[in-house]
Amino acid sequence: MKEKLKKLFAYYDPYRRLFYSDMFFAILGAGVTLVIPLIIRYITDTVVYYEPTRAKQAVLSLGLALVGLIVLEIFCNFYIAYYGHIMGAKMEADMRKDIFGHYQKLTFAFYDNQKVGHLLSRITSDLFDISELLHHGPEDLVISVIKIIGSFVILMTVNVRLALIMFAFIPVMVIFAFYFNGKMKTAFVHNREKIADINSQIEDSLAGIRVVKSFANENEEMKKFKAGNDNFVNAKKVSYKYMGIYNSGLGAMTTLVMVAVIVSGVGMMFSGSVRLTDLITFLLYINNFTDPVKKLVSFTEQFQNGYSGFGRFLEILAIAPDIADKPDAVYLEDVEGNIEFKDVSFHYEDTAEQVLSSINLKVRAGEYIALVGPSGVGKTTLCSLIPRFYEVTAGSICIDGMDIRDIRLESLRNHIGIVQQDVYLFAGTIMDNIRYGRPDASDEEVVRAAKRANAHEFIMSFPDGYDADIGQRGVKLSGGQKQRLSIARVFLKNPPVLIFDEATSALDNESEQVVQKSLESLAKNRTTFVIAHRLTTIRNAEKILVLTEDGIAEQGTHEELLKKKGIYESLYHIR
C-alpha cells in the first residue's frame, strides 16, 4: 500500500504550487468557519452588556467583520472548487496519457486476451474517480481535521464537561466508519468489474450492429445487455446498502450529539455551571462538528472508488510489453529487403502447441512469395513474426542479415507495409485515412498515392472528394474502395517489404481485379509476402510456399507445383 500511495502522490509533483495554494485556501476557509461562532459568542456574551451607543458601534464593526469573513469564505470555497478541480483534471489528463501511451506499447498477445470495454473503463470512469480523489481527498481530510480539532480546543476553553460529552461520540463514529469502510471497499471493486463487463458488451454489440440487424437479433442483444445490467444493479444494491447504513448511522449520531448537548447543557444551566451564551456557542459549533463528518463520508466513497480505480490503473501499467527494444537496438538504414527465417518455431503464450515448427526460408530482396495452405497452419502467424507483432519462440528472423530483435521496433515496422483482408479505416476523411500511412505527407503526395492505388477516380466521385467523411470504420465505402484506400496508405508509406494478408479474398470478381492490379503495382521491386485464399491470384508469384501443420511441405512456381501433383495441385483444383 505504501508503494501504491507513493505512485499516487507522484502525480501531484507537476502541480505543487496549485496544490499548495488549494490547501492554503482550504485551511483558511476552515479557519474562518471556526472564527465566526467566536465573534457571535463575543457579541452575545459581552457586547450586549455595553451601554447602548458603544454596543451599537461594536455590533456594527463586528457585523462588517463577519461580512468580510463570509466574503473571504466564499472566495476560499470558489478557489478550492474551481482551481482544485482544474488540478484534478490535469492530473487525470496525465494519467490518461500514461495509460494510453502504455496501451500503444502492449503487443497483440495482450489484446488477444482483453476486452475493449474493460480497457476503456480504465481510461474513462476509473480515471475520473481517481482525479476526484486526488482533488477532494487531501482538502477534505485537512478541512475535517482542522474543524474537529479546532472545535475541540475552542469548546474545551468554553466548558470542559460539555465539550467532553460532545466529543465522546467521535470514537463511536470512527469505529462505525472503519467497519463499513471495509464493506464498501469490497462492494466498489465489484461494481468496477460489472461496469467494465457492461462497457465491453455494449462496445461489442455496437461494433457488430450490422450483423445484429442482419440476423434480426436485437432482442438477443437486449437480453445479453439486460443480464449484464441486472448484475450491475445487484452489485450496486450491495454497495448502496452499506452506504445507506453508513450515512444514516452517521446522520443519527449527529442528531444525538445535538440532543446530548441541549439536554446536558440545560441541566448544567440549572446548576449554574453553564451560561446560556456558552450553550449557544456549543450549538453553533455543532455545524463545525457535523460538517467534517459529512466530508469524511464523501471522502470514504471517493477513496473507495478512486483507490480501487488506481489499483486497476497500476495493474495495466505493471504489464510489461512482451516485445520491446533492446537497449542497444539500432535503426534500419538502406534496406534492401533480404529476409531469412532460421529454424523458426512459434507457439502462443497460453498454449504449448506449436503453430510453426523449425521453419527455414530465404527470400531475396524484391522477390514475390506466396503462402498457401489450409486454414490454421500458421500463414498469417508467419508473416506477423516479421514486424514482431509476436516474438519467435525459437530461432531467428533476419532482414539484410540483421536479427530483427536487434532493430528498433519503430524502425522495423516503418520498413514493412501490410494490406489486410479486414481493412480498418478511422472515422474521418479519405485524406486523413490515406495520410495515416505517413502523417507528414503533403496533399499532393496523398493524391499521388491514391492514383497509384487506382483510388483517385472513385474518391473524386464524392461531392467532397478527398475531404469526404467515410463514417465509422469506413461504413460509407464498398469493400473494394476500402481496400484501395488501405493500399494507397502503403503506397504513401513506400516500404521495401510488403505483406498482403488475403487482401482480395472478401471482394467480388470485378473489385478483385481492380485491387489485384493495384497490389501488383505496389509489389514491384519490393520483397512481398502474399497470403492467398484464391490461388488464381498468385500464378505469377516467383515462389509459392505450401504450408501444412508440419511446416513448408512444398515450394516452387505455380507450374512446378502443379506438375508435382501434390498438396498444391489438390488445393488448386478444389478452389
Given a cut of 60, whether residue 506 has pLDDT beyond it is no
Helix ranges (H only) for 208-275 are 209-214, 218-271
pLDDT at residue number 188: 77
What percentage of the chain has pLDDT greater than the value 90? Answer: 14
Share above pLDDT 70 across residues of the chain, in percent, rounded to a whole number = 95
b/e map of 341-353 (b: 16 or more CB within 10 Å)?
A: bbebebbbeeeee
Q: What is the pLDDT of residue 151?
A: 87
Q: What is the pLDDT of residues 341-369, one digit of tens each?
A: 999 998 887 777 888 888 898 989 888 88
C-alpha cell at 112: 488477444
- 2-317 domain in CATH 1.20.1440.120? no
| Residues forming beta bridges with residue 402, ordered by sequence position | 399
pLDDT tens for residues 425-468? 888 889 998 998 888 889 999 998 888 888 888 899 989 999 98
**What's the confidence (pLDDT) of residue 261?**
83
Same fold, 2-317 and 425-494: no
Q: Sheet holding 551-556: strands in order across? A: 416-420, 497-501, 527-531, 368-372, 543-548, 551-556
Domain spans of the chain, in order of start: 2-317, 425-494
- The pLDDT assigned to 66 comes to 92
Q: What is the pLDDT of residue 21?
A: 93
pLDDT band (50, 70, 90) for residue 205: confident
pLDDT score of 503: 66
| Separation CA 311–CA 31 (nearest Å) | 35
Whether residue 67 is predicted with pLDDT greater than 90 in this model: the reply is yes
Q: Per-residue pLDDT for 421 more than 90?
A: no
Instruction: Take residue 48 and report the three cell numbers written for it.
Output: 450586549
Q: Could you read off the pLDDT of 11-59 as tens digits, one per residue?
A: 888 999 999 999 999 999 999 999 988 888 888 888 888 888 888 898 8
Q: Is the pLDDT of residue 507 over 70?
A: no
Q: Please determine, looking at this structure, whether the domain spanning 425-494 carries the CATH number 3.40.50.300.
A: yes
- pLDDT: which is higher, 382 or 473: 382
Please report the pLDDT score of residue 26 as a whole number. 92
Amino acid 250: pLDDT: 75
Residue-level pLDDT at 22: 92
Mean pLDDT of 417-432: 84
The pLDDT score that the predictor gives to residue 69 is: 94
Query: Computed from CA positions of residues 287, 288, 290, 296, in that sequence, does the dihedral angle turn out positive or negative?
Result: positive
Q: Residue 112 above 80 pLDDT?
A: no
Range 293-309 average pLDDT: 76
Q: What is the pTM of this model?
A: 0.69
Mean pLDDT of 153-169: 85
Residue 331 has pLDDT above 60, yes or no: yes
With b meaning 16 or more CB within 10 Å and e meaning fewer, what string describes 128-148? bbbbbbbbbbbbbbbbbebbb
pLDDT value, residue 537 = 66
Mean pLDDT of the chain: 84
